[in-house]
């Protein structure tokens, strides 16, 4: 089944020096010059602690539980400063297209085809009227961008090399092959987004596996 990992974090002010996990259960994540404190996190649906099985919820149920979690932890202002959505694909990542924020009809996950992720999540975060604070990209482009920003910051901080970092590839191997690309310091988007798993490869000699 499909699972969402949902987290709420705050940016640590520059005056606070805590940058590593501590004995009080606080979790911290550093991305370049920014340090985030993970305040709340959940996997939806959760894994059964006894059997290890994950409940197979449909898209509507997963989105409802995700939005409930986000509303539960809303700050006093009634909205988050920003929200980022990193999703499996293929997804509509071009803000100029009507399919932006949705899972596209070509997704191998049939029940997720044409499902709108952005609208209900933005609403739950109090950002329906300020979509400039909502980021939407693939689950490989988002970590590629985070890794790029972190490495670029470290490069400048420690002056490891003279040539600035401008490109990066991020590859994940799971049920498919995911590829996130950064070129000229920006995530690559074209008609869609990079899809390494859809590229035909030459089988090894003697490999008789016919596929799933």
Half-sphere exposure of 49 (CA within 13 A, CB side): 0
- What contacts 116, CB < 8 A, 6 or more positions away? 101, 102
Cβ–Cβ under 8 Å, residues 179 and 140? yes
Average pLDDT over residues 34-62: 90
pTM, to two decimals: 0.81
Average pLDDT over residues 160-174: 80
How many C-beta atoms lie closer than 10 Å to residue 181's C-beta? 20
pLDDT at 17 over 70: no
Per-residue confidence (pLDDT) for residue 192, from 0 to 100: 58
Question: What does the pLDDT average to over 56-66?
Answer: 95
Over residues 38-59, the mean pLDDT reads 89
Q: Are 182 and 148 in contact (CB under 8 A)?
A: yes
- pLDDT per position as a tens digit, 92-117: 998 989 999 999 998 888 999 999 99
DSSP string, 161-203: -SSPP--EEEEEESSSEEEEEEETTEE--SSS---GGGS--PP
**Average pLDDT of the chain?**
86
Q: Between 29 and 174, where is the model more confident?
A: 29
């Amino acid at each position: 089944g499909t699972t969402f990992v949902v987290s709420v974090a705050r940016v640590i002010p520059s005056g606070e020096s805590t940058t590593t996990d501590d004995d009080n259960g606080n979790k911290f994540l550093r991305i370049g010059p920014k340090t985030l404190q993970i305040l709340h996190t959940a996997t939806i649906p959760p894994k059964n602690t006894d059997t290890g099985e994950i409940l197979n919820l449909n898209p509507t149920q997963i989105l409802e539980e995700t939005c409930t979690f986000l509303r539960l932890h809303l700050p006093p202002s009634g909205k988050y400063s920003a929200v980022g959505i990193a999703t499996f694909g293929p997804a509509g990542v071009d803000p100029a297209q009507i399919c932006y924020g949705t899972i596209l009809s070509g997704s191998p996950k049939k029940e997720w085809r044409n499902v709108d992720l952005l609208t209900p999540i933005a609403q739950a975060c109090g950002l329906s009227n300020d979509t400039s604070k909502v980021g939407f990209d693939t689950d490989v482009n988002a970590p590629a961008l985070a890794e790029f920003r972190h490495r670029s910051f470290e490069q400048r901080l420690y002056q490891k090399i003279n040539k600035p970092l401008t490109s990066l590839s991020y590859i994940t191997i799971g049920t498919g092959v995911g590829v996130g690309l950064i070129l000229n310091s920006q995530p690559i988007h074209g008609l869609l987004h990079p899809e390494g798993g859809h590229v035909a490869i030459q089988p090894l000699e003697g490999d008789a596996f016919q596929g799933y």
